[in-house]
Amino acid sequence: MNSVKIYSRFERFWHWTQMLLIILLGLTGFEIHGSFTLFGFEESVRLHSTAGWSFLILTIFAAFWMIVTGQSRQFIPVRNNVKSQIMYYLSGIFKNEPHPVPKTAEQKLNPLQRIVYFGLLILVFPVQLTTGFLYLFIHYPNKPITIEGLESIAILHTIGAFLLVVFIIVHLYLITTGHTISSNLKAMITGYEKLESPVNKTK
């Protein structure tokens, strides 16, 4: 096993900042929705709006970085090994079988992860940002939005929020599926992960 740098400083900054913003958006969003009381309604609205703008700025910078560095190719879905990856998570992982798609610096995401992250990047995140800002500026003086559209916007935004909750739960589980229960987490903190070298694979 060799220690290989998998994640750059920006990738780690983006990951942890995005995580904190999604958690803050979730907590304040569900409080605004009336699910519980934590910060207080007015403070939740302020925090939710601030986190929303911060998430938009972070997303723009991340998209620019991924395109310029070519890392955007990591999120493009592939058809190969999708079934093998599904079977690995369903049974192979519990039998200590080898991972069907070993992680490398050039291939950080397995086929299922690519599909999920691609869906988040082109569907869930854009829908959440669009509906969130539409809802925020529903009474904006210069371009008022008709109240008839408010309910549909709120429903779409809520569906997106629940999808993100499901993603977080699944993501927390997948963190534990590395070589050790904490290896994936450590990699996202330090940037380095122990991977099997090509020499070891041939033995």
Could you report the per-residue pLDDT of 110-158, keeping only the tens digit for each? 999 999 999 999 999 999 999 898 887 775 445 555 555 577 888 889 9
The amino acid sitting at 4 is V
pLDDT, position 133 = 87
pLDDT band of residue 202 (cuts 50, 70, 90) is very low
Answer whether residue 23 is part of any domain.
Answer: yes
Q: Which residue range is the domain that position 23 belongs to?
A: 2-118+179-201
Element of type H or E holding 19: helix 9-32
Answer whether residue 166 is part of any domain.
Answer: no
Both structure tokens of 114: 């690519």
Residue 197 pLDDT greater than 70, yes or no:
no
Answer whether residue 169 is part of any domain.
Answer: no
Answer whether residue 77 is part of any domain.
Answer: yes
Both structure tokens of 87: 């079977």
pLDDT band of residue 104 (cuts 50, 70, 90) is confident
Answer whether residue 8 is part of any domain.
Answer: yes
Taking Cα atoms as reference points, which of 62, 26, 58, 56 lies closest to residue 44? 26
Residue 201 pLDDT greater than 50, yes or no:
no
Mean model confidence pLDDT for the chain: 87
Task: Pick the range with the lowest mean pLDDT from 61-70, 98-107, 115-124.
Answer: 98-107
- Mean pLDDT, rounded, for 76-87: 91
Answer whether residue 17 is part of any domain.
Answer: yes
Q: What is the 3-state secondary structure (H, E, C) of 104-152?
A: CCCCCCCHHHHHHHHHHHHHHHHHHHHHHHHHHCCCCCCCCCCHHHHHH
Residue 22 pLDDT greater than 90, yes or no:
yes
Answer whether residue 151 is part of any domain.
Answer: no
Q: Which residue has the tokens 């033995």?
A: 203
- Mean pLDDT, rounded, for 186-196: 89
Question: From start to end of the chain, where are the E strands?
Answer: 2-5, 192-195
The total number of structural domains in the chain stands at 1
Residue 43 pLDDT greater than 90, yes or no:
yes
